[in-house]
Amino acid sequence: MKYLAFTYLTILLLTNCKSTNNQEKPIQNPYQQENTALSYSSDVNYQLWSKGVDYHAFGENPDWILDIDFDNVAYLQLDGKQHKFSIDNLYIKEEENKVQYMAFTSDSGLMLEILNMACEPGTTNIKRYSSTIQVMDKQGKSIEVTGCGNYIPNYGLNDIYVLDSVPGFEFVPGSFTQGMPYLELHVREMKFMGHDGCNNISGTFINELDRLEFGNFITTKMFCSTNPQFDFLTELAKVRSFEHRKPRLIFLDEYGQVVLTLKKVD
């Protein structure tokens, strides 16, 4: 699956010293007790993700809704009628400020164009894009409508992950003064929090298909002289995509090289 990557990174540092604790504390996973289905029952994006939807778009005059699984099928509601498009072959055309997805069957065609242009704001931190769809039939007739849309984030990422490995570094228990670095991802809010082995960290992230980028970093500024020469936030800033091989979450840079490997906390 290809992903559309627009550069996203702002680093903010807040000075806030914490007291030192030399004992490594176990990381507790609050998601073990959480009933995720109930917690997200009112979250439209979660409901769409659970159905396998990758992108959701909608518009008015005329009213229309598009739900598309780029690997399988697209459903279009237009003027009170529902149309189904099987996606056997998906063509993707990427340009600087837009991406087009095109799917064709024996008697129809569907094109979705997504512009890197903000649309009306939603109720979450998930970015909405200006979206256009064009439907073509075998007689050559076409209908084009415009509206807004957003990629559906992967709610399967919603968990706590502890650092497992870093290319070129070797860690042993006790390497970090405040315990092993970890991340807690909150997909609905597109925010994260955690620890880098010395300081508390937090920020935001973007997840669109395989794309994953972290930014708006906030960290305390405690000095841990015995920690390895390793900057967790610097490595996070390199991340552009991911692979989810449960229980491991693998972060990749823009060249597809492994940056970090994390492991889900049991």
Q: What is the mean pLDDT of residues 180-209?
A: 96
Are residues 241 and 230 in contact, defined by beta-carbon separation less than 8 angstroms? no
How would residue 206 be classed by pLDDT, with cut points 50, 70 and 90? very high
How would residue 14 be classed by pLDDT, with cut points 50, 70 and 90? very low
Q: What is the mean pLDDT of residues 122-127?
A: 74
For residue 138, pLDDT over 80 is answered with: no
Check residue 105 and give its pLDDT. Answer: 76
Point out the least confidently predicted range of 17-21, 96-100, 245-249: 17-21
Domains in the chain, ordered, with CATH? Answer: 53-151 (2.40.128), 154-264 (2.40.128.270)
Read out DSSP for 115-183? EEEE-S--SSSS--EEEEEEEEETTS-EEEEEEEEEEPP-GGG-SEEEEEEBTTB---TT-STT-S-EE
For residue 125, pLDDT over 90 is answered with: no
Q: What is the mean pLDDT of residues 59-63?
A: 91
Going from the C-alpha of 227 to that of each of 57, 150, 194, 222, 230, the distances in angstroms are: 47, 41, 17, 12, 8
State if pTM tops 0.85: no
How would residue 41 be classed by pLDDT, with cut points 50, 70 and 90? low
